[in-house]
Amino acid sequence: MDMELEYTYYKAEDGFFVGWFDDFPEDVTQGETLEELEEMLMDMYECLNLVKYHKGKLILA
């Protein structure tokens, strides 16, 4: 099953790319290249077992 997760990243002063999944901004990883950052994000995905999380909405009237 293909899954698409959005992430945010920036290039730090030390040259590393720092990134996190938009739904989990408290879990941050980094890589020397953008490709390495994406690999680290995939590893983080497996470690966090993000498959178990689902989105819901609560509407209060």
Residues in contact with 45: Cβ distance below 8 Å, sequence separation at least 6, in sequence order: 5, 21
pLDDT of residue 37: 96
Give the tens place of pLDDT for each residue, 1-55.
577 889 999 999 999 999 999 988 999 999 999 999 999 999 998 887 765 666 6
Between 61 and 15, residue with greater pLDDT:
15
Strands 7-11 and 28-31: unpaired
Q: What is the pTM of this model?
A: 0.74
Residue spans per domain, the chain: 7-52
Tokens at residue 49, please? Answer: 């077992």
Distance from C-alpha of 52 to C-alpha of 25, rounded to nearest angstrom:
17
